[in-house]
Chains A and B, each alone.
Chain A
Amino acid sequence: DTEVTQTPKHLVMGMTNKKSLKCEQHMGHRAMYWYKQKAKKPPELMFVYSYEKLSINESVPSRFSPECPNSSLLNLHLHALQPEDSALYLCASSPGTMGVEQFFGPGTRLTVL
C-alpha cells in the first residue's frame, strides 16, 4: 500500500464550527506532515510529526491543532477559522530517512464561510 488517504475531500464550514481533517498511511513512514496550499502557490508547511511527536510547528495559529494518535494517523482539528484559511490542505508522509521523497495525499479542499 503506497498511498496516503485524506478525508473528507471537500469541507465547507462556518467560522464558529469545529471540524477535523484526517490523514492515514500504511507505509510504515515515521514522519507525517500538514501543508496548506493556496491557488498558484507552493505548499506551505504547517506541522511535522516525527515518531508521533510534533517536531516542527511553523508558527501556525492556534485555531489549527494537530494530533497524531498513532504512527499511521494524523488529524488536524479546526476551530474558529477565518475565510482566509480557505485552501487545499495536504497531508504527506515520508520514511524520515535521507534520500526518500514525500508521498502526498489527495488533499482536503476547505472553504470557510
Chain B
Amino acid sequence: RKEVEQDPGPFNVPEGATVAFNCTYSNSASQSFFWYRQDCRKEPKLLMSVYSSGNEDGRFTAQLNRASQYISLLIRDSKLSDSATYLCVVNMYGNQFYFGTGTSLTVIP
C-alpha cells in the first residue's frame, strides 16, 4: 500500500469553477502535510502547508482530517493560471517526505 494516495485526474474544469482534490495517507504517525504545485518541466513549489485547524490563502483552502487520514485542497474561482499538477506531500519524521502521485488540473477558458 502506498504511503500517500491521490486521484491522478485529470481534472478539466471551466474558468470560475470550484474544484477539490483529496489525498489519503496510511500512517497515522504522519506529522506535517503540504500541497505543492508543479508546472510542466518545473520544480515543485510549496502552495500551502496544511494545519489541523484548516487554513485559507485567497482562493485556496486546505483541510486536514486526522481521524480519516486525509487532506484536501479546494480551489475557488479557478483561473487559467491554476492549471498545473498538485502534489500532496506528507512528512512523517524530520527527514522523510512522502509524495502522492499528483493530480493534474487543466482550467479551460
Contacts and interface: CB of A to CB of B under 8 A. Distances in A.
21 contacts: A31-B94, A33-B97, A42-B99, A42-B100, A42-B101, A42-B102, A48-B95, A48-B96, A50-B94, A55-B95, A56-B96, A94-B95, A97-B94, A98-B32, A99-B31, A101-B32, A101-B34, A101-B89, A102-B89, A106-B43, A109-B41
A112 to B, nearest CB: 18
A5 B99 CA distance: 22
Interface of A: 31, 33, 40-43, 45, 48, 50, 55-56, 88, 90, 94, 96-107, 109
A98 B91 contact: yes
B43 A105 contact: yes
B94 A104 contact: no
Interface string B23-63: 00000000110100000011111100100000000000000
Contacts of B105: none
B73 interface: no
A104 B43 contact: yes
Given A90-B43, A106-B43, A99 B95 contact: no
Interface of B: 31-32, 34, 41-46, 49, 87, 89, 91, 93-97, 99-102, 104
A96 B41 contact: no
Nearest to B31: A98
A107 to B, nearest CB: 5
A43 B95 contact: no
A52 B31 CA distance: 24
Contacts of A98: 31-32, 91, 93-94
Candidate in B46, B91, B102 with the most chain A CB atoms within 10 angstroms: B91
A82 B89 CA distance: 29
A89 B44 CA distance: 12
